[in-house]
Amino acid sequence: MHGGEVQQGRLQVPSLGEQDLHLWRASLLLPEDALGTLQSWLTPEEQSRGARYATSLLRKRFVAARGQLRWMLGRYLGCPPESIHLLTLPGGKPVLQDHPHLHFNVSHSADELLIGVARSPIGVDIEHINRHFNPREVLQFFSAAEQKHILTGPLEHFYWCWTRKEACLKASGQGITVSLQDMDTLQATLQGWMLRTFITGEVVYSVAVQQALQVSLFQLTSDLRFSPFK
């Protein structure tokens, strides 16, 4: 990062077509001066919400996540980050109030942020693999086929299934309306949503979309510049 300064220029994100899905990974650990700029883009309500977090680390993570989301959406829409109106649906899903043609979804785990952007509804979920976690503690949330898949494979199998459930729920925006046990994520399609999962190192992330989309993966650097990643 160049002195921690957030770049607010005319840097453009890649073109987003009707058949495209852009996935962005970003860090929630940012320098203080960058956080200051990001916070200045938040609404009074967002700043108040962030201030209610119990620890400084959680407050900084909130500012980093919300500020980078605003920057990202501003680049796609061609408008200042602070001018974007975000609306939260009754089920908890955030949407763009004035731009129904652009869809996004957000997830974070530890110090990493995942943002998905498309022209149709999507859901995303990201999880860091906890090697000390015992998936037997939560098997009641999985189908018999999923339980077998989890118990007979590496720990990645649990996170594969779990992130797919989360992505599907977040895509619908309606919360948990069916038993998690009835959501068989071993299928390519779940409740009308097409699922894709990626594993990179110790991170697993999944997306749920309504139609087959061309996925492009990007890394957002701390100066709000981007680069493709595998």
The single-letter DSSP state of residue 5 is: P
121, HSE (Cβ side, Cα atoms, 13 Å): 15
Strands 112-118 and 20-27: what pairing? antiparallel
1-54 confidence digits (pLDDT tens): 233 444 444 457 889 999 999 999 999 999 998 999 999 999 999 999 999 999
**Residue 227 confidence (pLDDT):** 60
Q: Read off the pLDDT band of 173 (50, 70, 90).
A: confident
SS3 category, 160: helix
Tokens 């609306």 found at: 87
Mean of per-residue pLDDT scores for the chain = 90
Q: Which residues contact 224 (CB under 8 A, 6 or more apart)?
A: 6, 7, 11, 68, 71
Q: Do 68 and 113 form a contact (C-beta atoms < 8 A)?
A: yes
pLDDT at residue number 8: 43
Closest by CA position to 168, among listed 198, 210, 113 = 210
Residues 174-221 have pLDDT tens digits of 776 678 999 999 999 998 999 999 999 999 999 999 999 999 999 888
**Residue 139 dihedral angles phi and psi, to the nearest 5°:** -65, -20
3-state SS class at 159: helix
- Residue 65 has what pLDDT? 97
Is the pLDDT score of 90 beyond 60?
yes
Of 126, 128, 69, give the one whose Cα is nearest residue 102: 69
Main-chain phi, psi angles of 223, to 5 degrees? -95, 20
CA distance 169 to 177: 9
What's the rounded Cα separation, in Å, for the pair 222 and 194?
A: 31
pLDDT of residue 226: 64
φ, ψ for residue 94, nearest 5 deg: -80, 140
Q: Which domains does the chain have, with CATH numbers?
A: 19-220 (3.90.470.20)
